[in-house]
Amino acid sequence: MRLVLVALLLVSTALAWQAYAPGEGPFAHLSDDEFAEKYLMVVNDFDGLEAPSFDEEAFERAMGKNSGYDLRQAIPQCVSPIRDQAGCGGCWAFAITSTISDRECIENGLSDTRFFSPQHLIDCEDSKFAASGCRGADTQTAFKYTDVRYGGGLRLDTCYPYKSGTTGVPTTCKSNKCTSLDEEVRVFSSTNIQLWNDYDNIAMAQEIKEHGTIYMSMQVYSDFKSYKGGVYKIGAGAVPKGGHAIRVIGWGKDATDGYYWICANQWNETFGEKGYFRIGFNQYIGYKAGTADFDREIDSFVEFI
């Protein structure tokens, strides 16, 4: 018994972040494979990639020593509430629509966010946009669907509510469902989409501080489903289980664990820190990242279709 306790203490110390006790937490009833099947995207996009690096000195020269920023404090009315994708791997659609919701609020000086419909993207995007409903998507490619010249624009939840969380599959695409101009939003062009493939921490931090929410793709390891709080870092023995897309709304620095991103998930508020989590800069996150603006033309647009 004493050896077991020592081993547990060593694991706890190595992880630093808090994990739910065995049998606790929102996903305790699921095996790693069941969890991946319900909540994650296929892992193939990450094959052969290396974990990103982080140059702390360069970051602090650009952003300031011990810097941090949190949109929940800076512009709280423009941070969408935590949502729940439930039993559908449509995280990519939630990441896109919630990022755009936050951006619209910030750029138009609104007093609150409005929900854009992830169901619309899950139902109507197809392989042309590297999307496969509840099985996942390449979020960067899927972003282009919001440009009406290439895809179907956006809809609001008020006319296209979310249903796939219960069924685990898309519904029939209803491209003409919304007739109100307020519910059918077609505002983006390809020059308004900013992408990063090289995990530029400085550029992404600057973007968050100057313009608001971005999304990131991350590789989810087997121990992540037990995350309860703290700065997540991949634990010894953890293995990759699938891809995931989330919003990033800021960053900070922990005295022990260093710099981390502040991320908004969509596994409802029972996960992590009331639906949010923090993850170290040098962990497997952000191999793809991006955002979109309504009225800012970005010169570094990357053509991806």
Question: Splitting the chain (305 residues) into consecutive groups of 10 residues, what average pLDDT does each group show?
Answer: 35 68 92 92 63 85 94 96 94 93 85 88 90 87 78 83 93 74 53 62 90 88 95 91 93 95 96 96 70 57 34
Q: Would you state the pLDDT for residue 195?
A: 63
- What is the C-alpha R_g of the chain? 19
Active site residues: 91, 244, 265
Q: Would you state the pLDDT for residue 11?
A: 38
Query: Any idea what the CATH number is for the domain that residue 15 is in?
Result: 3.90.70.10
Q: In this structure, what token pair is assigned to residue 80?
A: 């969408």
Q: Would you state the pLDDT for residue 166?
A: 92
Q: Would you state the pLDDT for residue 299?
A: 45
Domain assignment present for 304: no
Domain assignment present for 189: yes
Contacts (Cβ under 8 Å, ≥6 apart) of 302: 140, 195, 197
Q: Would you state the pLDDT for residue 298?
A: 53
The number of folded domains in the chain is 1
Q: Would you state the pLDDT for residue 252?
A: 96
Burial state string for 59-74 with b = 16 or more CB within 10 A and e = fewer than 16: beeebeeeebbebeee
Question: Is residue 263 a contact partner of residue 247, using CB atoms and an 8 Å limit?
Answer: yes
Domain assignment present for 302: no
Domain assignment present for 120: yes
Q: Would you state the pLDDT for residue 62?
A: 96
Q: In this structure, what token pair is assigned to residue 82?
A: 């935590």
Supply the range of the domain harboring residue 203. 2-292
Domain assignment present for 300: no
Domain assignment present for 286: yes
Single-letter residue type at 172 = T
> What is the phi-psi region of residue 199: left when phi exceeds 0, alpha when psi lies from -120 to 50, beta otherwise?
left
pTM of the model: 0.87
